[in-house]
Amino acid sequence: MKTKIIIAGPRGKMGSEAVWMVHNEASFELAACIDRINDGKTLKDIESLPALNVPIFEDPEQCFQEIDADVFIDLTVPEVGFEHTKLALLYDIRPVVGTSGFSKEQIDALEDLSITHGTGCIIAPNFAVGAVLMMAFAKKAAKYLPDVEIVEQHHDQKLDAPSGTAVKTANMIAETRKSKQQGHPDEKETLEGARGASTDGIHIHSVRLPGLIAHQEVLFGGPGQTLTIRHDSYNRASFMEGVKLSVTKVMELNELVYGLENILE
Ligand code: NAP
């Protein structure tokens, strides 16, 4: 039996990629979309999306009431994404959330709701499997090479710096290595910010340029050697393997899981 899916944000960069992924996956079926415009239309009315008779709803509650679905994918903005996810859980439709920027309180509230309803939910700020592996490898390497700096590079439309992935990498490294101050103890910046941001002594440098998507290098140094672990997302298709995996996995869950790394075997 096919997994029936509702997608919110079908015109967005990630949402449209997810629409095509679901359309091309034999075991998935696109049941409906939630969009703040195009209410009452169908997907075939939207240029560059598959010509399908899939209904579009502006009101998420009406969508969850009227459409028989197993999974809800949210790729919008945190303010509406949180409300969508809450509603999906209330209607026992399992959410897979890629929208980034939920607060800790919001995640806790969704976790409570997920447990109360016994409905699985996955929230993953980074769906790129390679990025998750990069973080895991960096955590392991830091045990042996504790001097490390992170360089993350993103497109110039990104609003936050450093990236959530860079901060998460630093936090994971901090679980492995002892806290230490890196570089020369008397080092001074002659230009403010030259050494980047610092968390637990780990320096993070953020590059923003048009043409980039999402890239990160974790550089380790030891006597006479360096190690570089690098991940590049060249387009948004890089996130779709993680979305696909999450849709399959969420069907087996009855509580909320945060982070793709927690569903990879
Ligand atoms: P995007 O191209 O700007 O798409 C956002 C979508 O949300 C658009 O369809 C937009 O519709 C819709 N939207 C915005 N405000 C809305 C509102 N108030 N009510 C209803 N819909 C609204 O952004 P994107 O690059 O696809 O990213 C979408 C989300 O995924 C972001 O939170 C981003 O940080 C996250 N992201 C996650 C990953 C991951 O791996 N988990 C990777 C990349 C991005 P309009 O066109 O009408 O504004």
Which residue's CA lies nearest to atom 32 of ligand 1? 99
Residue 86 has pLDDT above 80, yes or no: yes
Shared domain for 137 and 213, answered yes or no, is yes
pLDDT bracket for residue 160 (50, 70, 90): confident
Q: Which atom of ligand 1 lies nearest, measured to the CA of 101?
A: 32
Q: What is the pTM of this model?
A: 0.87
Active site residue 154: yes
Shared domain for 155 and 119, answered yes or no, is no
Q: In which domain, by residue range, is 72 found?
A: 3-123+237-262
Shared domain for 192 and 246, answered yes or no, is no
Residue 265 has pLDDT above 90, yes or no: no
CB distance 60 to ligand 1 below 6 Å: no
CB-based contacts of 74, cutoff 8 Å, min separation 6: 8, 9, 81, 84, 85, 88, 95, 96, 97, 98, 99
- pLDDT, tens digit, 9 for 90 and up, residues 124-144: 988 999 999 999 999 999 999
pLDDT at residue number 179: 84
How many structural domains is the chain composed of?
A: 2
Active site residue 158: yes
Contact 166, 206 (CB under 8 A): yes
Residue 220 has pLDDT above 80, yes or no: yes
CB distance 98 to ligand 1 below 6 Å: yes
